[in-house]
Amino acid sequence: MIFIPCRGGESHVEHEWAEPAHVTAGAAVLAETVRNLVEGEQENGG
């Protein structure tokens, strides 16, 4: 799971809101993780 700050600490509710920069940073972490996993599979012949 990748956590980012939400306004008021509230998540999984209709009024959940996060700063766009925090969402972007979370997406970057996810993209880097996927990239590392793919590169690792390629190095191991997978």
Residue 44, pLDDT score: 82
Q: What does the longest C-alpha to C-alpha distance in the chain come to?
A: 46
Model pLDDT for residues 1-46, shown as the tens digit of each residue: 999 999 999 999 999 999 999 999 999 999 999 999 999 988 887 6
CA distances, 3 to each of 12, 18, 22, 28 (Å): 12, 11, 9, 12
Residue 43, pLDDT score: 82
Residue 46, pLDDT score: 66
Other beta carbons less than 10 A from residue 11's beta carbon: 13
- Polymer length of the chain: 46
Residue 41, pLDDT score: 84
